Structure 1
Amino acid sequence: MNEIHPGLLFSLLALLVVISAFFSSSETSMMALNRYRLRHQAKSGHRGAKRAMELLVRPDKLIGVILIGNNLVNILASVIAGAVFTKLYGDAGVFYATAALTIVILIFAEVTPKTIAALYPEKVAFPASLILQPLLWLLTPLVLLVSSISNGLARLVGVETTVGGESEHLAPEELRTVVFESGALLPSKHKGMLLNVLDLDQATVEDIMIPRNEVMGVDLEHTAEQILQQLAESSYTRLPVFTGDINQVVGILHLRRAAQILRDGPQNFSVARLKSFTDDPYFVPEATPLPTLLMNFQKTKRRMGLVVDEYGEVMGIVTLEDLLEEIVGDFTASPVPSDDQEIIATEDGWYRIAGGTSMRDINRTLGWHLPTDGPKTFNGLAMEYLESIPDGNISFFIQNYLVEIEEVSNTMITRARVKKISS
């Protein structure tokens, strides 16, 4: 090497630094690739993405060939640098070579290329795969030897090196984070719908059902005139039909099928004929998860279910519209127009809330975080906290929410004022 001109050696040294930078940037860019975006690009026919995916099937082999190449280049560069500096400066050349080469490799072959690769992984990884693929094939025996030794050492310390397991799949919480942080890539409304779908598993039928005291139905013990008037004036599409009490349900009546009864008038009305127009009731346990309810509705072609508790008592009804509103939000107006709204904004951040309002509706409407793992209505939450029905108008705190009772009946808190206090 003493006969070679120093200028040629410096040129060779510069080339080795460039090759080292290539290996360093390749490693960082390959590991920084978004796997899900990469799969999408590969399915779309992107050749660079396909090559990168093939290399990442066995990341241990990929890292092996990169590190083998990088170390060979760095070692060769240190030998050449030592020879050049020894020739120029004598015995002190080894020290100069070590210091100079460390600075050069650190800046030009490590930090700078890895920073660029981390910022633009696709722009670096896809072209690099053109070189890494044949290089991996060429160095396969050496890569296998190194990989088998390193994997064996990893297993000795209890690390499983099997590639392609559950790490490639996202947990629901991780997927929720991906959707939440998607930024401008997803419209806010679509993002909200996706998050609502992921949250369905956290709710049951009991959370969204219409309680039995609010259920509008046809009581067969009423007179023909009362029943026909109710059918003519009803704003609902389907009504449960029962005898005296909703626990004695006969079926579900679709008002479209009841048009013939209305045309015939009260003189031709009969309970038996009304029953012939009803469908068999569909019962749903109150603890049924919402995804299960959705699949059951789809399987049975149903749009309404009667919610029952563990004793078989009817607790209320649940409809397909209620379920869909958990995903898309309130997409229809209340079928019964009323000034008596459940949540009314007043002055200075106060809200007047009806006692029967669902806790999920309150949190979703106001963006609050009142507890939902216990009682399902605001009245239930307040009475659980007070452990009794209050005698009059009182104030108290539930977490960082100030509650002022406004109206109380013999059996429940009918209305209260609530304000969120900054914590």
Structure 2
Amino acid sequence: MTQTTEPAPLPVESFHRPARIHRAWFVAAVTFVTIIGAAAFRSLPGLLIDPLHLEYGWSRGTIGAAVSVNLALYGLTAPFAAALMDRFGIRRVVAVALTVIALGSGLTVWMTSAWQLLLCWGVLVGLGSGSMALAFAATVTNRWFTERRGLVSGILTAASASGQLIFLPLLSWMVEEYDWRPAAVTVALAALAVVPFVWLLLRDHPADVGLRPYGAPAFVPGPEPVRGAARRAVTVLLSAARTGPFWLLAGTFAICGASTNGLVQTHFVPAAHDHGMPVTAAASLLAVVGVFDVAGTVASGWFTDRFEPRRLLAVYYALRGVALLFLPMLLAPAVHPPMVFFIVFYGLDWVATVPPTLALCRAHYGEDSAIVFGWVLASHQVGAAAVAWLGGVARDALGSYDVVWYASGALCAAAALMALVIRRGPAATARAVA
């Protein structure tokens, strides 16, 4: 009697004809569009400072405090959002986050007191945007891609700048020609418009559609839902906090946030307006930052796949610091070629720091890298929040932003030195030995 053995069952993808384009790229495209739609809210705070100051008489420090709460919650929510995505899935978390953003932005139309600005724009939009933070891009990249992670993380990071490019000129025109309220409603509608795309087209894991991750040698089963999302986020933080690279990454990224979201994105338009530049012209310059940010971030992802990430970070921060030191001399009533050069240069460097920072998190923290990056991103937003508030306070006290530009340039020089101190991760060391 001959004994026969049944063949092992094949993964679901074995029964499908291989596609020319892996579905991971379509998921990345949906993620890109989602982040673009959600980026509208990030274009608005810098445009609201002068209109709210004129209409309600609130100080720039008070308005900056609301932006500060927004930025801080954006960062502090991110690590918990990454853990929630592991528990409930990417689609559910992102769809709820977009709805909260729309609610917070829409309610600002009826506010009459500063505490309502803090609640709507600071708390609600901050919590919603934190769940749509770069931890979303990191989770999608880690689940759907084994190869080209640097490139994909660069593209998804650039999506936020693309949203700024699309919405900033439109919102500045609305604020100038009509009022800030139509701009707030536009942000709410843009966030809601993306929800159907997320729910219908996004998938949580390649295994959900019977595929292996892009570049993976074998089929990877989908992860089981992880309970205790908040506990896991805190546990990962406590574990990472016992390592030196975490504090260096958190410190450099805090300076990154201070010199981008906190300073330039929040205060560039009112600072340029102080020198006589029209608001629409200043907003258009920030939109140009968004154009070159896309190119710079995608290029940074490509470089990250080929060069040592910590050295890339040192170069990026050093160049950013030099640019900020020259900015006070470039502000004028009209846009001159040196200012255009600054905008192009700063745009290329805006969030070019994200792909190498993500790569260092993966090298040091492996499967927990998305949550660790969420905490690193929290430091980014805490730095941004501090400068968003301090920049407004400095403007109220000194009548100028010059001291803030110089201080941020010095901080960027410190970040360049900190990046060089970060040691290689185990994965990078193994590749170097090989």
User: What's the TM-score bracket when you normalise by the shorter of the two chains?
Assistant: under 0.3
- Higher RCO, 1 or 2 (CA under 8 Å, sep at least 6)? 2
Tell me which protein shows more strand as a share of its residues: 1
Tell me which protein shows more helix as a share of its residues: 2
TM-score normalised to the size of structure 2? Answer: 0.21
Larger Rg: 1
